[in-house]
Structure 1
Amino acid sequence: MQGLHLVADLRGCRADLPLMSDVQALRQLCLKVVAHVGLEAVGELFHRFTPAPGESQSGVTGVVLLAESHLALHTWPELRAVTVDVYVCNLGQDNGAKARALMDGLLPAFEPQTVQAQELLRG
């Protein structure tokens, strides 16, 4: 069991992007990038939160269950922030390049001003 766990905190994202508050926009991006990098989505769940009192925007949480592990995103348009969690593992091969490609394919879509990223080798 070998795996690469990547996390990123994005700040200064464009709050008006559909990805920040629209479930379908975020879902389509995630599934497109997952397929593009050669990973297999086996399940998904995306949820838009109700705006807090006094707020006009609310974020989305999305999870794509992968045959190789998972992708999770959380958006906060009111804070112009996004967190991304990618964990990709496989018993028979190193999928580290696919994990990095997945992260690299997602981050620019949010147009962040800053990205704080970390890597953890697992297993």
Structure 2
Amino acid sequence: MKGLHLTADLYRCRCEAAWLTDAAKLGAWCVEAVQAVGLEAVDHLFHTFPATAKGPGGVTATVLLAESHVCLHTWPEERAVTCDVYVCNFSGDHSAKARGLMYALVNRFQPEWTEQRSLDRGEE
């Protein structure tokens, strides 16, 4: 079960507001980004939450990968996003692809700052 788990918390995102509120737009782009780095999407779920008194609802976008998953959660009222990319390295080392995908995700949202973490999972 050896794998790589990357997380990023993105703050004060300067992207177009639709990237934080439009599940279909964000989801379609996520699938394209997965394919662009050479990972394989096998299913997906994109959901927009209802608006609240604080503003428009956020989005959860999840893409199931043959290699594991990518998941995003947006908070438009805070212009914030959390990103999760996990790949197992059972059939080969997908670590570079996971890092490339995380790089694309962070760039999509143009945050003023990020907090990123990397966790090696499983035994050698």
TM-score, normalisation: structure 2: 0.93
Within 5 Å, give how 1:69-84 maps onto structure 2. 69-84=68-83
Within 5 Å, give how 1:44-59 maps onto structure 2. 44-52=44-52, 54-59=53-58
Runs of 4+ off more than 4 Å: none
Residue 92 of structure 1 deviates from its aligned partner by: 2.4
> SS at the partner of 2:56?
coil
Residue identity matched to 1:86: V
1:76-98 Cα distance to aligned partner (Å, 9 max, x none):
01011000000011312111101
Structure 1 regions of 5+ residues with no counterpart? none
Contact 1:59 1:77 in 2 (8 A): yes
Please say if 1:68 is aligned against 2:67: yes
1:43-101 Cα distance to aligned partner (Å, 9 max, x none):
1001000012x233110001100000000000001011000000011312111101100
Give the equivalent residue in structure 1 for 2:121.
Answer: 122
Residue 15 of structure 1 deviates from its aligned partner by: 6.7
In angstroms, what is the RMSD of aligned CA positions?
1.2
Please say if 1:33 is aligned against 2:33: yes
Contact 2:15 2:110 in 1 (8 A): no
Residue identity matched to 1:87: Y
TM-score, normalisation: structure 1: 0.94
- For the residues of structure 1 that align with 2:39 and 2:17, how far apart are their CA atoms? 26
Structure 2 regions of 5+ residues with no counterpart? none
- For the residues of structure 1 that align with 2:63 and 2:116, how far apart are their CA atoms? 20
Please say if 1:9 is aligned against 2:13: no
Aligned identity (percent) is 52
Number of corresponding residues = 122
Residue 4 of structure 1 deviates from its aligned partner by: 0.4
